Structure 1
Amino acid sequence: MTDDINAQHNEKMRRLKAQRDVLMTHKTQEKGLIMVHTGDGKGKSSSGFGMIMRCIGRSMPCAVVQFIKGNWETGEKTLLREHFAEECRFFVSGEGFTWETQDRAADIAAAENGWKIAQEQILDPEIQFVLLDEINIALRYDYLDIDEVTRFLLEQKPHMTHVCLTGRNAKPELLEIADLVTEMKLIKHPFRDGIMAQNGVEM
């Protein structure tokens, strides 16, 4: 019985590998990707920072431009600034979430400053990956012009530079130009049960 199951499994995997090998012969192009992580579930920024760590592991110079979150002391910011400052540039633009600042003019100014920094990092020939953390929030509230952002990404981003944009409610214009879109779906969250954000999990 076990030998039969093993034989069937091995034959199935052999066929799968053959199909995969044929598929991969046509996947020969390389390009810098525009990636969007959105949705109401947790993990958008976490995934973006996971790619930052991959870049560091691959000796790919990278940069983070963090919108909205302001002076939140997060684990990823501490780690990157204290241990990987040469490998990854880290910029913070914003004074906190919009419900905390309660100052639209200041929020717009901070977002515009962040976008200016973002463009500089994307255009820098040394940088291969740029994470625009929570920029979707700035776009959602029209702190930034979505047409300007999409036009820049399409027309001025270097061909081999990767850019990842995170945050809820990504605008349709951004989804349209993206090469990769991932939607994080909320199924269950401890915040709903009165549990505050936890170090190492959310900060």
Structure 2
Amino acid sequence: MPSAPEQLVFELPHRAALGREDFLVSDSNAAAVALVDRWPDWPVGAAVLVGPKGSGKTHLANVWLLRSAATVFDASQISRDDVPAIASAGAAIIEDIQNLNDEAALFHLLNLVREQRLQILLTTDIAPGDLSVALPDLMSRLKALPLASIEAPDDALLRAVLVKLFADRQLSVEPHVIGYVLVRMERSMSAAERLVAEADRQALVLQKRVTRAVAAAALDRLGY
């Protein structure tokens, strides 16, 4: 027999919506959204998205992936031997170039942007000019690429994201509850996802709607 009601709660898969119509826009990410929306009319066939973890880079990169049919590669895993395979994809997302191990590989890929009309979207937590890049030619190429930054989400965006995430779980939450968690949570998209998931779980455990008390319990469980 279960020893506590909490053990009766089963985790069900929750599908994250990653399409363009699901990406909420505010002042904090409008420039990045505009950059992705301009594709394929970029000045060159490559661009850079910069933003802290949890800012929505992966979501926005996925919007571009759906439009371009790109293949995703982890910058820390690519080497010069991988360049032909990446180029053959025609369009590629190279994620987290701040973790790049083989600078020559990325340099060759950026050369192929012009030579083979390869399309590349780079993502990074750190602006290209602040990266620790030893290869001068690569740094020069990176600095020359179109760039857009995603800032930490502002209140308007976080509020809208929380409302949407609760709605995705078919949970109706009063505005004052949203306001309560908004001033106490970590300022990131990933934190919003964790908070909504935990609030949903607490509501099931306590067999209540997502009230302020349930939200407070979720915040407490997450250490906020």
TM over 0.5: no
The structure showing larger relative contact order (alpha-carbon pairs under 8 Å, at least 6 residues apart) is 1
Q: TM-score, normalised by structure 2?
A: 0.41
Q: TM-score, normalised by structure 1?
A: 0.44
Task: Compare the two structures and name the one with the higher helix fraction.
Answer: 2
